Amino acid sequence: MNPQPTNTAAWLVAKRANLEVKPAPYTAPGENELVIKNHAVAINPLDWVIQGAGSFLFSWMKMPFVLGSDLAGEVVEVGAGVTRFKVGDRVLAHALGTDKKRNSPAESSFQQYTVVLAHMTSPIPDSLVYESATVLPLALSTAACGLFQKDQLALNYPSATAAPTGKTLLVWGGTTSVGSNAIQLAVAAGYEVIATASPRHFGYVKQLGASQVFDYNSPTGVRDVIKAFQGKTLAGALAIGGTSALTCADIVHGCQGHKFVSMTTFPVDFQRLSQGKRVGVQFLRQLPRLISFGVSLFFKSRLRGIRTSSIFGTTLMDNEVSRVIYTDFLPQALAEQRYVAAPTPAVIGQGLGRIQAGLDMQREGMSAQKVVITL
């Protein structure tokens, strides 16, 4: 019998502390679970938000804890009931350790070995390097939740043979990690996509499949997008970033079709919230802004007959969308190069000791890139 591997993790040992690389238990997989030896992990804003404000926003997490949602690597152990994977398979997976329902350091990605759910895992082809594959999971899941869940936009599912629907989706924030995936997923489901970006990234967003791209900073941006939707049937809007939901509500109001805005973010300055000495005080200082946002959203949406809903990027683990994405669609789409691992990985080094630098870099902001560390 082979001895269990020795595991190491980048631990968050106390709130607001820098990550510390220390030994970690190796956890065997349960039913419908896998253990992945991680070869590359990616950084998301969620990671540094938890590091700085986790005790306030993620009260169920008890320190020490391991963060991280994105991973790509090799299957080393398969749990009972798993038939899609075998030891040695190359995969990407959405690690769910920080989710309230899972709440397990063993299931987060910032370590050498991670336990993942089989239905949140996809095989990757030999042509796709781990550094590129690891940019996908959390952003892909978040986009899929917003587009396909029945309580969100409820679009048709993506497939290799999707027929054109004759409907057009608005993606506000096309260069973000979520936006990069939302564009591709919607196009693969048969929808036209109109997106926003900064002018220097127009080409990037069109390469992902958007038919038209508009400058989100333009003073005429809202009017321009509404004009582009004239004669089209709206499939809804995916609002990414800050107060984008308010802007999307204005656009949706001027269009014909499905008047629904699916929101990925709220207008909270998480950078200030995570860096301030007293999280509660920092939140109270932003409360007037949140109240103003809520009131404005009410008048811009509810009184106009526009529905809105917030996305939490792990909810698909409990519904059919996880199967649609990670089992039915993504494996073949990656193998046939019909789906691009986007945004581009920005590899900043190797080893768990580089993850803190990755958090710091991501906190400063990234555009059309995602911070990646190889292991």
Average pLDDT over residues 197-225: 96
Cα-only R_g, the chain = 20
Which pLDDT score is estimated for 224?
97
Task: Dig out the tokens for 201 from the structure.
Answer: 């990234």
Which pLDDT score is estimated for 286?
57
Which pLDDT score is estimated for 290?
64
Which pLDDT score is estimated for 293?
66
Predicted confidence (pLDDT) at residue 66 exceeds the cutoff of 70: yes
Predicted confidence (pLDDT) at residue 288 exceeds the cutoff of 70: no
> 80-132, pLDDT tens digit by residue?
999 999 999 999 999 999 999 999 999 999 999 999 999 999 999 999 999 99
Mean residue pLDDT across the chain: 92
Predicted confidence (pLDDT) at residue 213 exceeds the cutoff of 80: yes
Which pLDDT score is estimated for 299?
73
In angstroms, rounded to a whole number, what is the distance separating the alpha carbons of residues 124 and 370?
Answer: 19
Q: What is the pTM of this model?
A: 0.93
Which pLDDT score is estimated for 59?
85
Q: Does 343 sit behind a cis peptide bond, omega within 30 degrees of 0 on the bond before it? A: yes
Closest CA to 8 of 130, 113, 115: 113
Q: Does 137 sit behind a cis peptide bond, omega within 30 degrees of 0 on the bond before it? A: no
Other Cβ atoms closer than 10 A to 156: 17
In angstroms, rounded to a whole number, what is the distance separating the alpha carbons of residues 280 and 373?
Answer: 32
More confident residue, 276 or 225: 225
**pLDDT band for position 276 (cuts 50, 70, 90):** low
Average pLDDT over residues 337-349: 96
**pLDDT band for position 302 (cuts 50, 70, 90):** confident
Listed range (134-138, 192-196, 276-280, 365-369) with the worst mean pLDDT: 276-280
Average pLDDT over residues 290-317: 84
More confident residue, 58 or 191: 191
Listed range (73-77, 141-145, 245-249, 266-270) with the worst mean pLDDT: 266-270
The angle, 0 to 180 degrees and rounded to 10, between the axes of the packed helices 244-253 and 221-228 is: 40
**pLDDT band for position 306 (cuts 50, 70, 90):** very high
**pLDDT band for position 4 (cuts 50, 70, 90):** confident
Average pLDDT over residues 189-206: 97
In angstroms, rounded to a whole number, what is the distance separating the alpha carbons of residues 246 and 158?
Answer: 28
Average pLDDT over residues 59-74: 95
Predicted confidence (pLDDT) at residue 54 exceeds the cutoff of 80: no
DSSP 286-353: HHHHHHHHHHHHHHHTGGGT-EEEE--TTGGGGSHHHHIIIIIIHHHHHHTT-S---SEEEEEEESGG
Predicted confidence (pLDDT) at residue 65 exceeds the cutoff of 70: yes
- The answer to whether the beta carbons of residues 157 and 148 sit under 8 Å apart is yes
**pLDDT band for position 364 (cuts 50, 70, 90):** confident
**Class of the domain covering 7-136+341-374:** alpha beta
Any residues with CB less than 8 A from the CB of 266 and at least 6 apart, and which? 290, 293, 310
> 218-244, pLDDT tens digit by residue?
999 999 999 999 999 999 999 998 779
Listed range (34-43, 250-259, 284-293, 347-356) with the worst mean pLDDT: 284-293
- The answer to whether the beta carbons of residues 36 and 93 sit under 8 Å apart is yes
Q: Which element (helix H / strand E) includes 235?
A: strand 233-239
Residues of the chain with CATH 3.40.50.720: 140-310
Which pLDDT score is estimated for 275?
57
Predicted confidence (pLDDT) at residue 304 exceeds the cutoff of 80: yes
Listed range (1-10, 145-154, 231-240) with the worst mean pLDDT: 1-10
3-state secondary structure of 270: helix
Residues of the chain with CATH 3.90.180.10: 7-136+341-374
Which pLDDT score is estimated for 291?
65
Which pLDDT score is estimated for 296?
79
In angstroms, rounded to a whole number, what is the distance separating the alpha carbons of residues 52 and 270?
Answer: 9
Which pLDDT score is estimated for 241?
85
Q: CATH topology for 140-310? A: Rossmann fold (3.40.50)
Listed range (58-67, 70-79, 155-164) with the worst mean pLDDT: 58-67
Task: Dig out the tokens for 151 from the structure.
Answer: 């309580």
In angstroms, rounded to a whole number, what is the distance separating the alpha carbons of residues 236 and 257?
Answer: 8
